[in-house]
Structure 1
Amino acid sequence: MSVADLIDPIGNSDGAVTLLNAENWMQGRTLYGGASALLAYTHAIRKFTDLPPLRAAQIGFVAPVGADFELRSEIVRQGRNVTQLRSEVISDGKIALTAVWVFGTSRDPNAVYPSAPIGEGPGLPGASPAVDSRHPPSFVSNNFDVHYTADRQDAGKPVIRRWVRLKEPSNTDPISELVLMGDTLPPSAMRVMQRRGPLSSINWSFNVLDTEPVTRDGWWLVETASDHADQGYSSERLRLWNADGKQMLSGIQAVAIFG
């Protein structure tokens, strides 16, 4: 199931949706978080077509999202420059995902401070070997090429950085691809867990740093890094760069750690 096939059933009005071959994007009992977020984002921009570029989002992963659900979106506030829009994915009559999208027009900058370039540490995309995980989630093995970076981290350090690209080009707008790709990696706290156990993303907030993101050969550099893990939770930073080391996305996520 390609990205185009995934979002093809999404219309421009609120209502029920059924995905065909949704199992290709499943992560356990639910759609992979980036895919769920993309469904909500796609509904928002198809229902409201005259929006400025996406600048930020706050997404809550409330409950599992399967192949059958309802979508609804509404404008919360539309100002001179910024429009805030809320989307919800409804499963079995209850909210399964809730998202607030922030769209904003460009203005003459009163502050300019570019994000730091990533440097040469990760190496060239695709130059390092593919990740040799024995049991990758099915949505990863079905849809993504994932390669190690040249600067592989020590096993005891809660940082995961990988080169990632779609196996099949998405043929969507670039922002949609960022929404899909930004949550690809597992939480980095798994690298410092004392016992094996499941992890679950609770939310994901991100800022879009470049509203016209481009990369080479489909490769993006994705990173998760735990700032703090204790009492069954981890606070994770999620970042994404293009193949030339320019940062495209900056985010944070709360993760539940079980076991």
Structure 2
Amino acid sequence: MHIDELLTQVRQHIESPEQMPTMLVPKDWSQGRTLYGGVSAALAYEAMRVSIHADRLLRSFNCNFVGPIEPDAPFEVKVEILREGKNASQILARIVQNGNVSLLAQASFGVPRKSKVTVANNDKHTMALPKKAKFIPQIPKLTPKFLRHFELAIDSGKLPFTGSKDHHIHGWMRYKKAPATITDAHLIGLIDAWPPTVLQMLKWPAPASTMSWNVEFIHPHAEFKADGWFAYQVDTRQAADGYGHTEANIWDENGDLIAISRQAVAIFD
């Protein structure tokens, strides 16, 4: 099932709950025993997006992965508007499966306003656009199923479980089958596709899980190419005691910074 179909499904789930009281996401979007975190976060975001005025742009998105979301099993997305003022909206979403909260997300939206305060972003990268994907091949029972929906091209850093001394990943990403358009929901679904930076430091496979994820969005007022590449550079800020903290920048093909991502990751080695 394509990402656009999933986003359409969640919109129907929110707008017509009597016709679609629950949702299903197939196993090809799974990551181990749960749904891929990026797609579950994207669905929670899209449910919030359709619940507020369209003139409000996403400013920040915070997501806690509380428990696994079983693929091919029904779940609900519940939305609560915490506050909707003249300029900003604060909204909450929960994914509930079998009576348990599996994902909790909160987003802040705000309308663009005239301001005398302008600070240009000067963060740049020097990576050349890739000619093709270059990352983990599809290996049965080893490669996460959801990766078949993405193309990743690593520029710096190593593959997971290679005993590397590196703890960063720099590269490019895009959807393997381009969506009709690229929205914030598509970007949320895309940004989380990379493995945790610290897994490359291990010599043997071990599970890891994102506990919390924060994405702050910057809007360069430009439309994105549906089949375009997005640059991604993530670095480990600190890791110890079975937890790692990472921070990433995301740029479009024009070199404009469009998002800043931060994650707290639990490693079970």
State TM-score, norm by structure 1: 0.89
CA deviation after TM superposition for structure 1 residue 56, in Å: 0.5
Which residues in structure 2 correspond to 1:109-258 (within 5 Å)?
109-120=115-126, 122-124=127-129, 126-127=130-131, 130-133=134-137, 135-140=142-147, 142-149=148-155, 152-153=156-157, 155-193=164-202, 196-210=205-219, 212=221, 214-216=223-225, 217-258=227-268
2:106 maps to 100
Distance 1:51-1:69 versus aligned 2 partners, 3 A rule = farther
Letter in 1 for 2:243: Y
SS at match of 1:131: coil
Alpha-carbon distance in structure 1 between the residues aligned to 2:22 and 2:122 = 41
After superposition, the C-alpha distances for 1:135-175 in whole angstroms (9 at most, x for unaligned) are 431101x20111122xx247412101221111111224521
| Paired residue total | 253
CA deviation after TM superposition for structure 1 residue 45, in Å: 2.0
Alpha-carbon distance in structure 2 between the residues aligned to 1:224 and 1:28 = 23
After superposition, the C-alpha distances for 1:108-149 in whole angstroms (9 at most, x for unaligned) are 1332222224232x112x236622445431101x20111122
2:161 maps to none
SS at match of 2:75: strand
Which residues in structure 2 correspond to 1:25-104 (within 5 Å)?
25-50=29-54, 52-66=56-70, 67=72, 68-104=74-110
Q: CA RMSD in A?
A: 2.1
Alpha-carbon distance in structure 2 between the residues aligned to 1:60 and 1:189 = 20
1:2 paired with 2:12, answer: no
CA deviation after TM superposition for structure 1 residue 24, in Å: 1.4
Letter in 1 for 2:99: G
| Structure 2 stretches lacking a partner, 5+ long | 159-163
SS at match of 1:47: coil
Q: Which moved more, 1:51-60 or 1:126-135?
A: 126-135
CA deviation after TM superposition for structure 1 residue 246, in Å: 1.6
Alpha-carbon distance in structure 2 between the residues aligned to 1:75 and 1:57 = 14
CA deviation after TM superposition for structure 1 residue 192, in Å: 2.6
Alpha-carbon distance in structure 2 between the residues aligned to 1:18 and 1:183 = 21
Letter in 1 for 2:170: R
| Structure 1 stretches lacking a partner, 5+ long | none
CA deviation after TM superposition for structure 1 residue 195, in Å: 5.3
Contact 2:220 2:256 in 1 (8 A): no
Contact 1:56 1:207 in 2 (8 A): yes
Contact 1:215 1:244 in 2 (8 A): no
State TM-score, norm by structure 2: 0.86
CA deviation after TM superposition for structure 1 residue 226, in Å: 1.0
